[in-house]
Amino acid sequence: MVRTLLRQEKTRLFILVAAGFVLYATAARDGHDWGGDYAQYILHAQSLLDGTEYAPLRGYVENEYLPWAPYAYPPVFPAYLATILTVFELDFVALKIGIIALLALGYLAYYRIARDELSPAAALGVTAFLVFSPFFLKFSNKVLSDLPFLAVSFAYVAAANRFFKDDTSRRDMLILGLTMIAGIGTRAAGLTMLVALPAYALLFRRSHFFRATAITVLVTAVFLAFSSKMVGMMSGQIGASPVRILGWFINNLVNVLPYQLTRFFALYPKWGSQAELLINTPFAVVFAVLALIGLVSAIRRRGVRFVDVFLAAQLGLVLSFVLVVLRYLIPVIPLLSIHAFIGLRVVAIALWRKVPLAWRASGWRRIYAYRYAIPVAVFAPLFAAYWGQYALRPTTTGANILRDPHVSSLFDTIRHSDVSAAVFHRPRVLTLFTDKPSTTCFNTTGEIYKDSLTWDLAKLKDLSRKSRVSHVILDHSNSSMALALR
């Protein structure tokens, strides 16, 4: 009987994840938008394939007057992209499907995490809640490290949960160490893995502290050995004072986090309208309340678990950034979703007890039985709409326009195409698609760049002379420029 139930549980999970993979893969579109980070990952991958220097980034000219891109991104994700480029070259559909495959494996690990906290039905429900999330469907069309890091984070938490059981084996320790190396090597935010493991062991599982510390020390040694290739997005945080970081943290907690949660649960995609506020905000508020109820209930019932500590470490790190964008919260929201489903269970049981006995045999029983499917059903129409849009429009407009074979030169492409001002802030994209070394000379977008230099023609001439500039791309407002070099 038990084996049959386990087999059915695994079958349902496999069908769910396989269906998600098929839907995501068929929605993968050729090309890419104008975001610059993906271009740097691909350039790193090409450097690994060519055997050229990994960092500094080839083709990107460092501007001493305005540092723009990180010196290098961690090498694990570029190495994974390199294996795909070896077979398919610069095929964005193949790159995206490769990322989707990692995400599917991550969903399997996520189910194991959820299963430690929830019943099989609830664990399957919260996994479906992520699989059919419109946000993840949309984000899978970007060649970025966030979804691979999400998958590795799930594997790390699942491995840590196994490690902190009483019958820990060397195999468990090895798997945990490998997931930590993969996490740090995918995104610099993976450094929280080095903090969460020994911290949880010290505070809540002293019996595992020595082994947790040993794993952390070994992983740290590997990190330091390859640290020159692991400089990530946190580099801009290093010079900030504690007082300034505290100010960012408070502002992000009070203002930015609620806004980004609303964006993640956007059931109405048009921003800046009354409908958006009326439709999206209530769902985000309900989610936050359920997550809080679930967290408190879970801690009261079984104490603090490792997933809670990792969630706190990851959220604390993200909120300490000067600029918090939605994709930085990608590892956080799925873990909060588990607590939200715990909260949903608590609230559903409390409400069920208040339903009169005479009503329990009616439709209320059916609603109670399928309570874990309700959040998924809320997402279903928008997920289907996005899937149809991506499947019917197989090519995205954006930076791939520079690969148009009918255009004789980069400048003709820009002159005859509607790329707005995107090209002027994307020197890494220019480098990837045109093989022309590029840099950004001037940008004052947003508060984060308030210390940037104002327009200075002398410095522009100096940079041009040092870098042997052949062409300058200038937008009509003179607010920014990208230099295309020989």
Is residue 439 domain-shared with residue 330, that is, in the same domain? no
Does 406 lie in the same domain as 347? no
When divided into structural domains, the chain yields a total of 2
Same-domain check for residues 348 and 444:
no
Do 241 and 309 belong to one domain? yes
Count Cβ neighbours within 10 Å for each residue of 51-65 and write b for 16 or more, e otherwise.
Answer: eeebbebebbbebee
Residue bearing tokens 């090409």: 46
DSSP 393-422: --B--SGGGGG-TT-SSHHHHHHHS--TTG
The parent domain of residue 461 ranges over 399-485
Answer whether residue 275 is part of any domain.
yes
My answer on whether 284 and 338 are in the same domain is: yes
Residue 59: left (phi > 0), alpha (psi -120 to 50), or beta?
Answer: left
CA gap 312, 478 in Å, rounded: 43
Residues 294 and 348 in one domain: yes
The two three-digit tokens of residue 475, written as one number: 């937008």
Point out the domain boundary residue: 354, 385, 420. 354
Q: At what angle do helices 332-354 and 306-319 cross, to 10 degrees?
A: 120
- 331 and 436 assigned to the same domain: no
Check pLDDT > 70 for residue 244.
yes
**Has residue 444 got a pLDDT over 50?**
no
Percent of the chain with pLDDT over 90: 39
Per-residue pLDDT of 27-42, as tens digits, reads: 998 888 887 789 889 9
What is the rounded average pLDDT of the residues 462-475? 69
pLDDT, residue 192, reads: 93
- Chain center to CA of 404: 30
Residues 8-64: tens digit of each pLDDT: 888 899 999 999 999 999 999 888 888 778 988 999 999 999 888 887 777 777 666
**Host H or E run for residue 328:** none
Do 344 and 441 fall into the same domain? no
333 plus 424 within the same structural domain: no
Residues 221 and 184: beta-carbon distance below 8 Å: no
Classify residue 175: in a domain, yes or no: no
d(CA 259, CA 73): 28
Give the pLDDT band (50/70/90) at residue 260: confident
Instruction: Quick: pLDDT tens for 316-362.
Output: 998 888 777 888 899 999 999 999 999 988 988 888 777 676 666 66
Mention every residue, 6+ apart, whose C-beta is less than 8 A from residue 220. Answer: 194
Are residues 422 and 336 located together in one domain of the fold? no
Token pair 């022309």 is found at: 436
